[in-house]
């Protein structure tokens, strides 16, 4: 039996958050349905943050309310503080992600707090997760490089991994927020982290700014990582990280792993249809690097 790769689809949140035109709730739910039909079973649905800061996420509670409860399908909410956590739980989210930027400048630009201040609040949230039996993950943003402070020292990532796991984090998602990670850096960082913790405690969240995302994902898989974030059609970017391009495309990630003998559980034709939905709701031309190849294999209907 092939080893399982879990693809966590972040297109609904990370993918849409920078879109200048608001995508109605019904269209977001349409995209979620298309992705489920393609075999995606894990979603980062929305973020419970200030609508003034991220207007696209203003309907987070409505999106959660419109999602069907399905066995084996996970819906995640992103929160940045205790108020956001309370809103997420009230909306019915049973899984939450917390984003901690590991550099001072980025964390202040992102949520207007020092890293220590955020860590203290997240420790309280993680305590509440334990009491409320809410699954959680902590994203370590700019784990490879910061747009303001440059390359992130691996020792900094190790320090914050230790602090967040000790505080009760269920898993750590290493985020290449601006897509500046390099293969050798990824090798070294994972080797250092895996001296202390097992690979199943980690996920990778990769952006494809410099065309390195698939390479970094493969390195992660070779080190035993089995959870990866991606966005349909390569949608995405961070409003607080200049130069951040879209996330690694879900179709590229799935194709690479399926071609390499892993089981992602997704249907490539279904993903192509989901890309079409994403294009329709955003007005953008989307698609990963494998798009032309997949198009060449589609039957000619003319």
User: For residue 143, which phi and psi values (nearest 5 degrees)?
Assistant: -70, -20
> 31-53, pLDDT tens digit by residue?
999 999 999 999 999 999 999 98
Residue appearing with tokens 């959680």: 136
- The answer to which of 3-17, 164-178, 204-218, 240-254 has the lowest mean pLDDT is 240-254
CATH architecture of 6-296: Alpha-Beta Barrel (3.20)
Residue 186 annotated to the active site = no
The span from the CA of 151 to the CA of 43, in Å, is: 29
> 45-103, pLDDT tens digit by residue?
999 999 998 999 999 999 999 999 999 999 999 999 999 999 999 999 999 999 999 99
In the chain, the largest separation of any two C-alpha atoms, in whole Å, equals 60
Tokens in use for 264? 């992602």
Helices (H), the chain: 25-37, 60-66, 82-90, 104-111, 115-132, 154-167, 183-193, 213-222, 250-259, 268-282, 291-296
Please, is 73 exposed, middle or buried when counting C-beta atoms within 10 Å of its C-beta (0-12, 13-18, 19+)?
middle
Q: For the whole model, what pTM was predicted?
A: 0.94
> 239-296, pLDDT tens digit by residue?
555 556 689 999 999 999 999 999 999 999 999 999 999 999 999 999 999 988 888 8
Average pLDDT over residues 145-170: 97
């Amino acid at each position: 039996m092939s080893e399982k790769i879990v693809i966590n689809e972040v297109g609904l949140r990370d993918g849409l958050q920078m879109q200048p035109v608001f995508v109605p709730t019904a269209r977001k739910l349409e995209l979620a349905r298309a992705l489920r039909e393609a075999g995606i079973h894990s979603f980062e649905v929305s973020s419970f943050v200030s609508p003034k800061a991220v207007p696209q996420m203003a309907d987070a509670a409505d999106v959660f309310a419109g999602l069907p409860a399905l066995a084996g399908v996970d819906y995640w909410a992103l929160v940045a503080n205790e108020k956001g956590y309370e809103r997420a739980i009230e909306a019915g989210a049973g899984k939450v992600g917390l984003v901690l930027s590991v550099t001072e400048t980025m964390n202040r630009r992102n949520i207007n707090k020092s890293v220590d201040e955020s860590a203290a609040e997240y420790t309280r949230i993680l305590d509440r997760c334990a009491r409320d039996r809410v699954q959680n993950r902590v994203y370590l943003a700019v784990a490879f490089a910061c747009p303001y402070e440059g390359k992130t020292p691996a020792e900094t990532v190790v320090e914050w991994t230790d602090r967040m796991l000790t505080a009760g984090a269920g898993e750590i998602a290493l985020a290449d927020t601006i897509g500046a990670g390099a293969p050798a850096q990824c090798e070294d960082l994972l080797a250092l982290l895996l001296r202390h913790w097992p690979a199943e405690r980690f996920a990778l969240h990769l952006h494809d700014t410099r065309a390195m995302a698939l390479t970094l994902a493969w390195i992660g898989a070779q080190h035993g990582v089995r959870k990866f974030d991606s966005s349909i059609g390569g949608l995405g970017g961070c409003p607080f990280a200049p130069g951040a391009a879209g996330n690694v495309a879900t179709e590229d990630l799935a194709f690479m792993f399926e071609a390499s003998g892993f089981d992602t559980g997704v249907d490539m034709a279904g993903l192509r249809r989901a890309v079409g939905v994403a294009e329709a709701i955003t007005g953008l031309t989307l698609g990963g690097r494998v798009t032309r190849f997949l198009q060449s294999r589609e039957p000619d209907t003319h």
